[in-house]
Structure 1
Amino acid sequence: MIPSDSPQSGGATARTESRDPLPDRAGYDENFLGVPVPLPTPSSPDVPSVVLPYTHFTVVLRPDRRMAAATAVCIDGRLLVEHVPRESSWRFDPRLDERHQSGDEVYRDNSLDKGHLVRRLDPVWGEATEANKANADTFHYTNAAPQADVFNQGKQLWQGLENFLLDHAATFDRKLTVLTGPVLHDSDPPYRGVQVPLRFWKVAAFVQDGSLAATAYVLDQSPDLTRDAERALAGATPGAPPPLGAFRTFQVPVSDVVELTSLDLGPLPAADLMPAVRAPGERWKRLASHDDIMMQR
C-alpha cells in the first residue's frame, strides 16, 4: 500500500484510500444474548486462523485447511425474514487469497454438496437491505464445507436444529447464537487439494431462566467402516471423492466438542444442559427426532 503522503510526480502529494471490498460487515456480536459468548478460536496459538466478519455472522478460517474451523452467527427469531429468494451464487471472499479458500473445483462434477456452515436463513433478519446482504454473504466459499449429497432423516434433523431451538427460546426473546464448523482432523481423507471432514459440530447458546444455556451436536458422515477401512477412507476409485456415509446426528456434551476441535468455547461447557454424568454408551445421544434433545439439566 502506498503511504498517504507518498510524493508523486510534479511535487504533488497523492492520497491513497484503502477500499474494503465487503464494507460495513460488523460480524458476530459476542454480547448479542446480553451475556458474553466469545467467538470460538483455536486454543493453540500455533494454529493459523483468519477472522472474517460478515452480516450477523463471522467465519474463523483455517487457511492451511482452506475452510472454516468455526463460524458464529446471531439469530434474532423475532426479526427473521422468511421469504428471501435463494438467488445468490457461490463466490470467493475478495479479502482473502483464493488459494486459501475451497472453490468450485472441489465440488464440480461429483457427489459433494457445498454445505452451508452458517445456515442460509439464520442471519437473514432485520431491515430488507440488511437481510438481503446477510443472505448473499452466506454464499461465500469460506462458509462452505464438503458434505455428502444424500438427503435423509439425519440431515433433516441437523438442518432443523435452529428452528427447534428458536421455538424453545420463544419465551426468552427468540434469540440464539449458534457456533458451527467441521471437525478438522489430520486423518480426514484428501480430495482435490483439500481434506474432506467426516464430522461437523454445532453449539447453540441462549438464555434460559435468566442464565446462559448451551447444547451441542455432532453430525457424522463417516463412511461405513464395516468395509475395509483403508479402502473406505481413501476412496474406492482413484480421483473420486471419498465415499461418505449416511448422516447421523448426536447430542453430545459441549466439552466433547472442545476436545474434538481444540477450540476455545469460553463459558459454554459450563452452561451445558446435557447432564454431566452419563454412562459411556449414552454419552453421545443419537437423535431420531428433535423430541430426543435434552433441554434440562
Structure 2
Amino acid sequence: MQLWLEQIEKARERSEGIDLRSLADYARDKTPRELSTPKQLDDRRSFLRESLGDDEKSAVAYERIISGSEIQDVNYLARGARAAKAVSRILIRDTAGRLVAYGTGFLIAPNVLITNNHVLPSIESCRRSEAQFEFELDIDGAALNPTTYSLQAQELFFTSKDLDFTVVAVTSSSTVGDGQLEHYGFLPLVGATGKASDGEWLTIIQHPNGDRKQVCVRENKLLKRTDDVLWYSTDTLGGSSGSPVFSNDWYVVALHHSGVPDERDGRTQTISGRDYDPAKDGEQDIKWIANEGIRVSRIVETLHAALPAHPLLQPVFGATPENSRLMLPSVDLLQSTATHAAGSLPLPGPLIQQTPTRKTTMNDMQSGGRRTLAVTLGIESDGSVSVLRSGPAARESQSVFEEAARAKAKKPAPAIDVPFNAKYDDRKGFEAGFLAPGKPEMSVHLPLLGKALAKETVELVDGPPGENVLNYHGYSLVMHKARRLALYSAANVDFSGRFELARPADVWRQDPRIPASAQLTNFYYENNQFDRGHLTRREDMEYGATRLAALTTAADTCHWSNCTPQHSKFNQNKELWQGIERHIFEDAIKLDKFRAQVITGPILEESDPVWDKYPKIQYPVRFWKVVAAITASGKLFATAYILDQSGVIEEFGIEAAREIPFDAYKTFQVQINEVERLTGLSFTGGPVRRVFSLSTVDPLAKKPVRKPTRVRAQESALVDVPDGWLPLDSLESMVLPDLE
C-alpha cells in the first residue's frame, strides 16, 4: 500500500503545472493531427514505414491514424485476442503463502514477465507469488481452466522504483494446471519511438480488481507525454497495475501503473465525492483525472543499461518495429513455427522442442495432445497471412484447419426469442415428487416455516390469506417482507435433457403477484461491487423437452424475487459453491438421469451490514444450500452447505473485500439441522402423512467431523469454525453416502 501511495504522489508531482482535466476535455474531439507535435508526427510516420515495410501502405495508415479515423481492419480483433494471451493475473502472496492482493503482468520475452515495482518490489515478494494465465472466459462465456506458474527471481530479477517496473523470470511448466508457458507467446517491447502520437486511442488488457481478464478497447485517449510517462484519459479499475497499454496497431506503448487523482482543497477525492481515506479506501475508490503509464522506450533503455548481456533479455533488446508486429490471430492449431513466421521474436534454442513429423488428427487435439506443424505461410506487406497449399506439410495443416472448422460447425447454438407469459398461469413451481415420480417415500417438500417466521413473509396480492409461495417454471420461493429477499428458493434440477444454448441477455422482471415495494430491483445493484446473484441458478434450469422449453425455464430465473446481492467474486465463482450439485451427479453418481432438488437462500441475521447509500437495507453475508438426490441403489440422501464471508468482512469491511480472493470466502459442509437452526426453516421428505426430517438421511450426521479449531483463510482474516462444520477445500472433500 505504501509503495502504491508513493507512486500516486510521484504522478501528482509529475503533473504539476499541467491541467490534465482541461486537457482531457479539450482533446475529447480532437484528432492526433491537431494534438501532436511535428516531431511526434515524424516519428509516427517513420515507425509505420518501418513496421509495414511499404511506403504506400504506411502512408495510407498514417493518414488514417492522424485524421482520427475509427475504422479498423476486422483482423484488429483477432490480433487483440492473440495479444491478450500473454497477459496474466499476478497472485501476490506474503512469506507465509497467503494471498494478499492482485496485480496484472505480461510476458515480454520467453520466460520473462513484467509488472509494477509496487506489485512485486523485491526478490522476497516473488518467492511465493505466481503468474496465472487464462483466468478468463472463452468465446461461449464459459470459464477457462487457468494455469499458474512460479516466479524464478534467482534466474532474473530487476526492479526500478523510480519507473515503477519489475521484470522477473517465470517457470516454463505450470505448477497448477497442465500447460507450458510458450503457449502464451509474448509481447515484444520496442524501444523505438513513434508507436503512438498524442490524440490516438489506446487499449488496455487487464485484470481489474483481480477479476477475470477484461479489455478496455480504445477508450483511453493519449493526452500528453514526458520522457518517462504517458498520460491518457482514464477508464481502468483498481487492480489493473501492471497492464499493457496498446496502440492502434497492438504495439505495447506503456506499462500502466498509476494515475493522477482528482483533488479538492489538496485532498484526494473518491468516486463517491468524499475525501480519500487510506485506512479504508483502496485504489478502486479514487476518482482519477488521468491514467499514467511508464513509456516502453524508457523501460527498454533502463534494462539495456543495467543488464545488456542477460540472455533472457536479448529478445527485448532485439525487438524492432518490423519483427514485433502482431499479424496472426491466436490459433491454437499453430505452434512455434507459425508463431515465428507471424513476426514474433524467435525463441531461444533451449526452449524450442523439435517434434518428428507425423499425421495430426482431430482426435489428437481433442485428447489434449499438442503437435508441431510445419506450415508454409504467405505474408503480405500489409500483414495479411495465408496458408500456402503447395507441399505435403501445407496440405496437412490445411486439412487440420478444415477438420477443425467442420467440428466447430457441428455445435448448434442458435439465438432465439424467449416467450414470456405475463399472466403466470402456467407456472407449476417446485414438485415434491420430482426425484422419483410415483414414489412418495422419495419426495422432498418445500421448507416449513414456523408461525413467527411465516408472519414475516410477503403474501400474494390476489391469493388467499396466508398464501406466500411464488411458483415459477421448475422452482418456487418465499419472500421476506422486511428484507425484500427470498427466504429460500427451491428448484427441481434435471442434468439430462439439456441443449447447447446461446444464452440471451438477462431480462430481469418484477413479479406482479407481490407488491413492488417487497422486491429489491436494479436500483440497489448500480455502482457497487454487488452482482445480481441468482438463488436458483439460471444454468441449473437450462433443461426441458425442447430447446425452447429449456430457454423458457432458464429465463424465468431472472426475477428480482430470485435475486440477492452477492459480491462479484462469490457470484462469478463456479468451481466450488456453484459446482456442488453438479459434482454430486456428474462426478459421483453416474446415473442415466441426473436429478436433484436444490434449495438455497441467504442466512438473514440482525447483524447483517448495510451499504452506505441505502442504510435501511441490509445485505446477507452468509448463504446456505441443501441438495437432495437418490443414489444408484435407490436411497434418498440430502446434504447441506454454508458459504461464510462474515469473518473476512468483519476484519476488512465490504469495501476492502473487493481486493481479496474468492478463497477467503470459506465454504463448509454442515448438518442439515444446523441450517435449520440458522434459518428457522425445517426440511422434510417422505409421504405427506408420514414426513420425516431430511437430517435423518444426511450422511454428515452419521460421520464425526474432525477439524482444526481455526481455519486461516487465504487472506489474513481468521475464520472461526463452529463444531460440526466441515471446511471444504475442494469438491472431493465433501462427505457423501455410498453412491453405488
Q: TM-score range by the shorter chain?
A: 0.7 to 0.9
Question: In the alignment, is residue 66 of structure 1 matched against residue 481 of structure 2?
Answer: no
The alignment status of 1:88 with 2:506, answered yes or no, reads: yes
- The residue number in structure 2 matching 1:37 is 444
Under a length normalisation based on structure 1, what TM-score does the superposition of the two structures give? 0.82
AA in 1 matched with 2:644: D
2:181 alignment counterpart: none
**1:134-181 deviations in whole A, cap 9, x for unaligned?**
111111111111111125997630111121122123327311000000
Q: Which amino acid aligns with 2:606?
A: D
Q: How does 1:1-297 map to 2 (within 5 A)?
A: 21-34=423-436, 35-44=442-451, 45-49=454-458, 50-126=468-544, 127-150=546-569, 156-167=575-586, 168-171=588-591, 173-191=593-611, 192=614, 193-208=616-631, 209-224=633-648, 227=651, 232=653, 246-266=664-684, 267-276=693-702, 278=704, 281=707, 283-296=724-737
Please, what TM-score do these two structures have when normalized by structure 2?
0.34
**Any idea what the Cα deviations from partners look like across 1:169-207, whole Å, max 9, x if unmatched?**
332731100000001112111332421111000010001
* Amino acid in the other structure paired with 1:274: L
Give the secondary-structure state (helix, strand or coil) at the position aligned to 1:259.
helix
**Alignment size in residue pairs:** 270
Query: C-alpha distance in 1, partners of 2:571/2:561?
Result: 25
CA contact (8 A) 2:626 2:641 kept: yes
User: Using the alignment, how far apart are the partners of 1:244 and 1:107 within structure 2?
Assistant: 21
Greater Cα offset, 185-194 or 113-122 = 185-194
Are the aligned partners of 1:21 and 1:95 in contact in 2 as well (CA < 8 Å)? Answer: no
Relative to structure 1, the CA distance from residue 247 to residue 86 in structure 2 (aligned partners, 3 Å threshold; closer, same or farther) is farther
Structure with the greater relative contact order (CA < 8 A, sep ≥ 6): 1 or 2? 1
Contact 1:102 1:194 in 2 (8 A): no
CA distance in 2, matches of 1:150, 1:74: 26
Instruction: Give the C-alpha shift of residue 133 in structure 1.
Output: 1.3
For the structure 1 residues 236 and 173, does the alpha-carbon distance in structure 2 shift closer, same or farther, using more than 3 Å as the test?
closer
User: Which ranges of structure 2 fall in alignment gaps of 5 or more residues?
Assistant: 1-420, 437-441, 459-467, 685-692, 708-722
Conservation of the 8 A alpha-carbon contact between 2:585 and 2:591: no
- Structure 1 residue 99: deviation in Å? 0.7
Give the CA RMSD over aligned residues: 2.7
Letter in 1 for 2:423: P
Bigger helix share: 2
Tell me how far 1:244 sits from its aligned partner.
11
Preserved CA contact (<8 Å) 2:728 2:734: yes
Are residues 265 and 152 of structure 1, via their aligned partners in 2, closer, same or farther at CA, if it must alter by over 3 Å? Answer: closer
1:42-74 superposed Cα distances (whole Å, 9 cap, x missing partner): 223433242111111111111221010001111
Secondary structure of the structure 1 residue equivalent to 2:575: helix
Query: Secondary structure at 2:577's aligned position in 1?
Result: helix
- 1:205–1:213 Cα contact (<8 Å) kept: yes
* 1:33–1:206 Cα contact (<8 Å) kept: yes
1:41–1:60 contact (8 Å) kept in structure 2? no
Conservation of the 8 A alpha-carbon contact between 1:61 and 1:67: yes
AA matched with 1:184: L
Structure whose CA Rg is larger = 2
Which 10-residue stretch deviates more, 120-129 or 107-116?
120-129
Whether contact under 8 Å (1:80, 1:125) holds in the other structure is: yes
Please tell me whether the aligned partners of residues 695 and 701 of structure 2 are also in contact (alpha carbons under 8 angstroms). no
Distance 1:81 1:110 in 2: 34
CA distance in 2, matches of 1:56, 1:156: 24
Residues 284 and 122 of structure 1: CA distance in aligned 2, closer, same or farther (over 3 Å): same
How far, CA to CA, are the matches of 1:147 and 1:244 in structure 2?
Answer: 14
